Amino acid sequence: MANFNKFFKTRQTVLEMLRDRKYDTSKYFDENGEYIQLNQELFNENFNINNLQLIVSKLNNPDDKIQVLFHEKKIGIDILKLIISEMNDINITHTLLIVKHKITSFAKKEIIKLSSKYNFEIFLENEMLFNITKHRIVPKHILLDDNEAKAIINCYGKKTFYLPKIFKTDAICKYYDGKVGDIFKIEREKNIYYRVVTRDPKK
């Protein structure tokens, strides 16, 4: 990363995102819910961000864990294999990668091939410098749980096919880790409406 300030901002956004996904991030926030800033004096020119790792668990399921890795180098097959080996060592199948550069096409193909066993989420560093949910023009999005989604499906029936779409590649969808078929409830000042997650036909 170009500087520590970028890392600090990115780390804060990542932890806010994981908190919004209902992971246990309590030790990173104070009693008022404010993010606890890192002491910059802990870092010096010998500090390697690649070695920094976060691991948190779901609030309702401590066995459901995710790790966060920050990488400055471009991730190719060799680095990906090392990451997978480390995931096996610590028995984690879900990894969120914050990268400075897009991963190689070979690494991307390997991730797709292994998607039934490992869940990789990839965010560019610049995507995480600001929390998109805090933008003044972005309405509140709520990713419905299974029971809430079923209620909407029962209400709309086959008409859910005609619900407005949100692509899986959309920044908000990525923020909440929305899956194809999931439903978002979107709250504006005077209206509530729903969107169903679909694949981006261009991807």
Confidence at 158, pLDDT banded by 50, 70, 90: low
Name the residue with tokens 């890192």.
38
pLDDT tens digits, 18-35: 999 999 999 999 999 999
Is the pLDDT assigned to residue 162 strictly greater than 90? Answer: no
Residue among 199, 144, 133 at smallest CA distance from 166: 199
Burial of 142 (0-12, 13-18, 19+ CB in 10 A): middle
**Which CATH fold topology does 133-198 show?**
Eukaryotic RPB6 RNA polymerase subunit (3.90.940)
pLDDT tens digits, 168-201: 999 999 999 999 999 999 998 889 989 999 998 7
pLDDT at 46: 65
Residue among 193, 192, 184, 178 at smallest CA distance from 148: 184
Confidence at 37, pLDDT banded by 50, 70, 90: confident
Architecture of domain 4-130: 3-Layer(aba) Sandwich (3.40)
Domain spans in the chain, listed from the N-terminal domain onward: 4-130, 133-198
Burial of 51 (0-12, 13-18, 19+ CB in 10 A): exposed
pLDDT at 2: 47
Lowest mean pLDDT among 76-80, 92-96, 121-125, 155-159: 155-159
pLDDT at 45: 63
Residue type at position 125: E
pLDDT at 1: 43
pLDDT tens digits, 61-102: 999 999 999 988 899 999 999 999 999 999 999 999 999 999
Which pair of structure tokens corresponds to residue 63? 């066995």
pTM of the model: 0.89
